Amino acid sequence: MQTTTKTHVRKYSGRRNRLSKPELLAPAGNLEKLKFAIHYGADAVYIGGQKYGLRSNADNFSFEEMREGVEFAKKYGAKVFVATNIYAHNEDLGGIEEYLRNLYNAGISAVIVADPVIVQTAQKAVPGLEVHLSTQQSTVNWQAVQFWKEEGLPRVVLGRETSMEEIEEIKRHVDVEIEAFIHGAMCSSYSGRCVLSNHFTDRDSNRGGCCQSCRWKYDLFEDARPEAETWISEEEALSDPVLQKFQLGVSQLPQFTEDDNAFTMGSKDLCMIEHVPDLIDVGVDSFKIEGRMKSIHYVATVVNVYRQAIDSYMADPDNYVLKPEWIEEINKAANRPLNTGFFYDTPDHEDHIYEPEEKAAPYDFAGLVMEYDSETGMATVQQRNHFKPGQEVEFFGPGGTFFKQTVGTIWDEEGNELDAARHPLQRVKFKVDRPVSYFDMMRKKK
């Protein structure tokens, strides 16, 4: 699978607005994912609390977990942000001041906010808590960015619809931090402000209840009224197995047959790994990865790749080379076909998924390295998915550690030989071909 499908023509000038290292901002759906994201190179993570966020189905964090996450992040010089980005109804606003104070007391560095009322409340009730404007505000022009800067916000998360050319103009006019999504799922609705979920399932997308209705399968129908050329008789309709299946009588004709692929409104995922220099040169201050609902394997893999690409370019911009293995690694974690979103052009029919989604990630997170004995070459691995002797696995870790090997004899911690590592979180031992480190990951093909 290729990360991009189009040849892009650079419309912006390409000059280096401000060559300083951007922040790499990763998603963390729970405390374990937070630790993996930071260990694999994130400068900051964004999480959700028990209220006021747009991912109510994520594990989300209690205040106690937030404090633990903040303490872990501090050890690595990282920050923790909290998404507080719902569009609030009247009943949502009770207790918001207390909630924001608790975030501040837990050590949270910033909140990501869409609703102007919550912006204003945070600024008044907890002036020490930094407020970042959420992408849900659909900010895509420099004058809107200037407005929010004048309202006291130090950072604006741009709408996903913003182009490179527009980012360049924003940075030329406004001295403010710009955060942009550079990897992950895209929304078919403008900046995620969707109401399909509300109508279909009574779950409010803008209050954290999105049911992913754009990913559902849909049929297409044509009216079969008497004046239409496609009109058919009731007798013909009753004898047609397709019409019988859909129980449509003579009023509508399905345009798909059983052999056709169902229609979906789902878009391809965003991936900018091939264009990290452009993002840095244009002045994006924070590279945001989408995916608080994604797996640990996804978060660690994607963060690890972007960390290497950013560091490589900043170390020697003039001699930077995109490594093929970075693209290969991204594809091992990708859930859908990938493209570059709105950065270079407006997505068209090639950027949506009409056929059954290509499940591109053929790998499972199989084990986590807990210990390594350099004298014996023996690793202690915590099982995360079933694996057994004779199976090929891959080890990878922060900074580009990577190798493949075949699993040999496996022992449990008591020294008993095993025919497989069957039990979740079971610790097993086996020899590895190269040195590994704590928190390195082992994956296997599905």
The tens-digit pLDDT sequence of the chain (446 residues) is: 445 545 454 555 666 555 689 999 999 999 999 999 999 999 999 999 987 765 555 568 999 999 999 999 999 999 999 999 888 889 888 899 999 999 999 999 999 999 999 999 999 999 999 999 999 899 999 999 999 999 999 999 999 999 999 999 999 999 999 999 999 988 777 666 677 767 777 666 655 567 777 777 777 777 655 554 455 555 665 566 555 544 444 456 667 677 776 677 778 899 999 999 999 999 999 999 998 889 999 999 999 999 999 999 999 999 999 999 999 999 999 878 889 999 999 888 788 777 665 555 689 999 999 999 999 999 999 999 999 999 999 999 998 889 999 999 999 999 999 999 999 999 999 999 999 999 999 999 98
CA separation for the pair 205, 210 (Å, rounded): 4
CA separation for the pair 243, 254 (Å, rounded): 7
Q: Are 119 and 133 in contact (CB under 8 A)?
A: yes
Nearest to 408 by CA among 433, 381, 437: 433
pLDDT for res 91: 86
CA separation for the pair 72, 374 (Å, rounded): 27
Q: What angle do CA 15, 19, 23 make, to 5 degrees?
A: 125
pLDDT for res 246: 47
pLDDT for res 142: 98
Q: Are 408 and 433 in contact (CB under 8 A)?
A: no
Nearest to 45 by CA among 300, 392, 355, 266: 300
CA distances from 432 to 66, 299, 368, 377 (A): 36, 24, 13, 6
DSSP annotation of 307 reads H
pLDDT for res 18: 56
What is the helix (H) or strand (E) element at residue 335, kind and residue range?
Answer: none
pLDDT for res 288: 98
Pair of tokens at residue 414: 């008591």
CA separation for the pair 23, 45 (Å, rounded): 10
Nearest to 29 by CA among 67, 59, 66, 70: 59
Q: Are 437 and 397 in contact (CB under 8 A)?
A: yes
CA separation for the pair 311, 347 (Å, rounded): 29
pLDDT for res 250: 46
Pair of tokens at residue 407: 């699993």
Nearest to 58 by CA among 361, 289, 294, 303: 294
pLDDT for res 224: 57
Tokens 């945070």 -> residue: 122
In the chain the domains, ranked by start, together with CATH numbers, are 23-192+267-351 (3.20.20.70), 219-261 (no CATH), 363-445 (2.40.30.10)
Distance of CA 345 to the CA centre of its chain: 21
